[in-house]
Amino acid sequence: MCDAQVENISSLKHDLSKTDTIDNADGEPSKSFWLRKAPAQVPTVLDPDDALMKRFQNVLKEHLLRLNNNLSEEILDLEATVKSTKKKHEEESLQLYYAQQEISQQQSTIEKYQNTLMKLISLREEKDQKVNEIRESHKKIQEKVLEEKKKEDKLSRDLQNLTALQNQFAQWEEELNKCLTISKRTCKKDAIVQQELINEKQRKDCILFKLREEVWRLEDEITYLNEQVQLKLNEKIATSQLVADANTDLEAIHREHKNLCNSWNAVVLNISKRDKIYDQLSEEREKMRDSFTALQTETEKLKKEALKESENNENLTSVQLRLEDDIGIVSRMVTTGNEKINNLESDLIKVTKFGEQTLNEYNTAHAEYQDYVNLEEQLDKDLAKLMNLKMEQENLIFEKLKEKVTHDKAARYLNKLLMDTKKAIQEQELLVVQAENSYGKNLLELARLNTSIENEKAEYQELSQKNNEKEKDINELQKEIKKCDTTIGRKQMKIISLNKMIEQILASTGGEEISPQDLKILTLEKNIQETEQNNQRAQQFWLRQQGYMVTLSQQRDEQLQQLNILNKEVMIMEQKNLKIQYQLEKFRKEDADMDKTVNLLHQKLLQLNANLVAQKELREELEDKNCIKKNEYMKSLENAEFALIKLQSDLQELINEKIALKEELSAAQRESLSWEKKVQIMQETSKEIKKERSSGGDIALMKSEIHKMEMRLSHLRRAQEKLINDMEFCVGRRDVILHKVMGRLKKNPKEQHNQKIMFSKRIKDQKLKIKQILKDMKETEANVLKTEEQMKQFVRELDEQRQTLKSIEDAIPDLDQEIMKMEMLKSYKLKSLVFKQRKVKMLEDIKSGRYRMLCRSETLLNDELQNERTLHGYLVHVMEQTKLDFPLLKNKSNYYLLYKSRVWFEDLKEGSA
């Protein structure tokens, strides 16, 4: 109580100084000026070494010792909690170290897999080189086979010419024999005629031989042209097969594209999971902010309890300024949030446009990635457990901080530790997220490489089997070619022997010089003998040749059939080789496309990582700002401590200045009723509240923003309805167009095929447009939902701010009443203290015999009492009249009435005494 009395005296001194300035500024005396009493003698003050003051000092010392003990106990508790948190931090750091070791082991295994993959790729390149070498050797062998075929065709043509010449010679021999028989029967005179006929016949035979040669040449050209026609037909068949193979290859490419799209879907799901984790982290950060704001509110309560009662009005104005600053900050945050939402919407539109091109083809590779998804879910569960442990630990820390943060030095140390732990945890979370991303990328690359290696192994086995079959066929062809070479050599030897026989026959015509008749006779005889021998030999030879020719013709037919079969097989193998080459080129192109897509995805992932880094930087900036604010609040707390120390020194000074206060008590009584300034302050506060509620205030701005958002929502709904109407109009228009086109097609059936193709293309384009429109509709619906959520948030914030304003407005009259009560108590206690001091002085005067009686008779005393009562009644009447005239000053008038009644009662007691 004594401490409160001293504080009340200091506040009263401050108020008295203010009232003095007001009276001097106005230049007119206040109401208390003509109501005050005459100045009395200045009372003396108690000595500091008095027993009463010692009791007060003892009580104050006990109080301070209790506070010191409580603070020391709390410091010990905080040190214990700090030690426990350090132990938990060390345990968590050990767990994180073990997790990092596991991650390093996984990275080493991934590097091993990569090395094995590089080895497999090198083996594949070596096998590709071997295949290329085999192809080149196969091409060389094919060229040799073609050259040998050409040689065989030439030799077959020479054989045909030789057989034709042989037949010609045989015919000529027969004709010569016939002529000889005719010449034997005829006379010598006819010999000349016969020779002329023979010569003419020979000429004719030569002409016929030339004609036959031309016929053979034309036949060879015809056969060559027929072969070329067959080759063209084979090429046409090969091109048709190539077209079919190309269609199959396109279908395979389409499937692979679907697989790639499915893999990209998996990547997008992983990215969305990462975003969810980041959202959870942001929610945790907001919880941390809320806890920090709770700590700030507690510190502000401590400030309010430590400050003087005269500074309550200043606290109210500071609260109002803080509310205005918070509203400005909220509006800035709303604008920044809207800008971020717009940027995110543009990014989402881009991503959806890219995803629309791919999502239509993603349906087949989901089963292959389930194992990886399960692994990722296990990792997510482990991370969730770690996050739950972290949350529990942080909640424990914050609860303990809420319960035990009273001393500033301990609070600073704990806050530093918390900031360090937060930064370490955030860095570890980022490392975990990066490890998850790298692990997912490596898994995708491993799956792709495994699938490509299996496909290439199967293709390599097929190619090796086909090459073995082709080698076997080539060996068989070489054996058959060797057989043909041996038969051709035999035929050549026979032709040489026939030429020698012809030369001997021609040489037998030459001999000795004999008369022409003898010569003729000898020649005829020799000719007859030779002809007979030749006939016999020729008959034998003819019989042999006929049998041999039959066998040769059969062999030749068989060889021709085999050659045709081999040609066909060679053509088929060439077509297969072309197909294989085409497939290899196609696979190479697919590998190049895959590399391009992987590079694009890698670039996109880099962009997303850059965005995450930017968000991380923003978060760090916000944390830095929070740290700055925290430091500011800590400085303000330090200032408050200094202010408390100053107050304690002021208390000591006030104890020393009691004598000076006794001289100023009379002036304080005169000007204690200076409540005009307080009334002006209340009027100003009411005006400021009305301004805030008016059109230029923050509440009106919030209402205008809500109205704008509602207008935007209505505009979006109108746009949605317009889009729906446009869709309906497009459907009706499409029906009309279809009816017109069907009528045209019935009239012109020839153009039906072309128009079907055109309509199919247009339908595809329309489907794409419809999909885009539907996606735009979904986006608009999402935007509408977002705007509705924003509206709800704004409405909630407005309600909260209204509630805060209502609470502040409701608290203002309570605060005024409390201020009035405290002032009344303060004035009453001061007055009672003065009366007690006066009593003590009067008793001392009575003891010493220095007391002078003012009213020495009872009549004078009764007259003085009657005057005091009349003056009191007059004052009561004046104050009641002021109540009626000024109802706003009702509290002040009540306070004055009570105060005067108590003062009068005390005066009466004193007078009676």
Q: What is the 3-state secondary structure (H, E, C) of 344-365?
A: HHHHHHHHHHHHHHHHCCCCCC
Quick check: 893 and 824 in contact, CB under 8 A? no
Q: How confident is the model at residue 41 (pLDDT cuts 50, 70, 90)?
A: very low
Quick check: 473 and 573 in contact, CB under 8 A? yes
pLDDT exceeds 70 at position 196: yes
The tokens for 20 are 């003095």
Residue 556: in which H helix or E strand, if any? helix 516-656
Rg of the chain's alpha carbons, rounded to an integer?
61
pTM over 0.85: no
27, 177, 502, 535 from 529: Cα distances, Å: 184, 12, 17, 9
User: Can you spell out the DSSP letters for 733-787?
Assistant: HHHHHHHHHHHHHHH-GGGHHHHHHHHHHHHHHHHHHHHHHHHHHHHHHHHHHHH
Can you give the pLDDT at residue 734?
Answer: 60
Contacts of 71 (CB under 8 A, 6+ apart): 406, 407
pLDDT 10s digits, 726-753: 656 655 566 666 667 666 766 766 666 6
Residue 4: in which H helix or E strand, if any? helix 2-26
Q: How far is CA 123 from the centre of its chain?
A: 37
Give the count of beta carbons closer than 10 Å to the beta carbon of residue 160.
13
pLDDT 10s digits, 600-620: 877 777 777 777 777 777 777
Average pLDDT over residues 315-328: 67
Establish how many alpha carbons lie within 13 A of residue 766's alpha carbon, considering only the half-sphere containing its beta carbon.
Answer: 11
Q: How confident is the model at residue 11 (pLDDT cuts 50, 70, 90)?
A: very low
DSSP helix/strand/coil, 514 = coil
Q: Worst-scoring range by mean pLDDT, 39-43, 216-220, 710-714?
A: 39-43
423, 510, 562, 620, 629 from 624: Cα distances, Å: 11, 131, 90, 6, 9
Q: How far is CA 872 from the centre of its chain?
A: 84
CA–CA distance, 179 with 202 (Å, rounded to integer): 13
User: Can you spell out the DSSP letters for 169-230?
Assistant: HHHHHHHHHHHHHHHHHS-SHHHHHHHHHHHHHHHHHHHHHHHHHHHHHHHHHHHHHHHHHH
461, 469, 475 from 472: Cα distances, Å: 17, 5, 5
Burial environment of residue 13 by CB neighbours within 10 A (0 to 12, 13 to 18, 19 or more)? middle
Q: How confident is the model at residue 153 (pLDDT cuts 50, 70, 90)?
A: confident
CA–CA distance, 876 with 898 (Å, rounded to integer): 10
Average pLDDT over residues 891-908: 53
Geometric angle at alpha carbon 522, from 521 and 528, rounded to 5°: 90
pLDDT 10s digits, 673-732: 555 555 666 667 667 666 666 655 566 666 777 777 778 777 777 766 676 566 566 555
Phi, psi (degrees; rounded to nearest 5) at 462? -60, -45
Can you give the pLDDT at residue 697?
Answer: 57
Average pLDDT over residues 169-175: 75
Amino acid at 317: T
Can you give the pLDDT at residue 29?
Answer: 40
pLDDT exceeds 50 at position 18: no
Give the count of beta carbons closer than 10 Å to the beta carbon of residue 702.
20
pLDDT 10s digits, 230-258: 877 777 777 777 767 766 766 776 777 67
pLDDT exceeds 80 at position 126: yes
CA–CA distance, 565 with 570 (Å, rounded to integer): 8
CA–CA distance, 43 with 663 (Å, rounded to integer): 8
Average pLDDT over residues 65-77: 75
Q: How confident is the model at residue 10 (pLDDT cuts 50, 70, 90)?
A: very low
Phi, psi (degrees; rounded to nearest 5) at 853? -80, 125
pLDDT 10s digits, 77-105: 778 878 887 887 788 778 877 877 777 77
CA–CA distance, 218 with 767 (Å, rounded to integer): 63
Q: Worst-scoring range by mean pLDDT, 42-56, 160-174, 535-549?
A: 42-56
Q: How confident is the model at residue 50 (pLDDT cuts 50, 70, 90)?
A: low
Average pLDDT of every residue of the chain: 69
Q: Please provide the size of the chain in residues.
A: 913
Can you give the pLDDT at residue 360?
Answer: 60
Quick check: 636 and 304 in contact, CB under 8 A? no
Taking every pair of C-alpha atoms in the chain, what is the biggest distance, in angstroms?
225
357, 473, 542 from 140: Cα distances, Å: 47, 15, 44
**What percentage of residues in the chain have a pLDDT greater than 70?**
54
Block residue for tokens 């937060």: 422
pLDDT exceeds 50 at position 497: yes
Q: How confident is the model at residue 30 (pLDDT cuts 50, 70, 90)?
A: very low
Quick check: 375 and 608 in contact, CB under 8 A? no
Let me know how many helices (H) and strands (E) the chain has, helices first: 13, 0
Q: How confident is the model at residue 672 (pLDDT cuts 50, 70, 90)?
A: low
pLDDT exceeds 50 at position 635: yes
pLDDT exceeds 70 at position 457: no
Amino acid at 252: A
Q: Worst-scoring range by mean pLDDT, 499-503, 770-774, 821-825?
A: 499-503
- Which is higher by pLDDT, 481 or 588? 588
Average pLDDT over residues 471-479: 71
Q: How confident is the model at residue 340 (pLDDT cuts 50, 70, 90)?
A: low
Q: How far is CA 18 from the centre of its chain?
A: 65
CA–CA distance, 357 with 354 (Å, rounded to integer): 6
Q: How confident is the model at residue 40 (pLDDT cuts 50, 70, 90)?
A: very low
With CA atoms as reference, report the closest residue to 459 among 607, 581, 562, 637: 581
Quick check: 425 and 390 in contact, CB under 8 A? yes
Q: How far is CA 848 from the centre of its chain?
A: 97
Quick check: 666 and 39 in contact, CB under 8 A? yes
The tokens for 488 are 């051709």
pLDDT exceeds 60 at position 451: yes
DSSP helix/strand/coil, 395 = helix
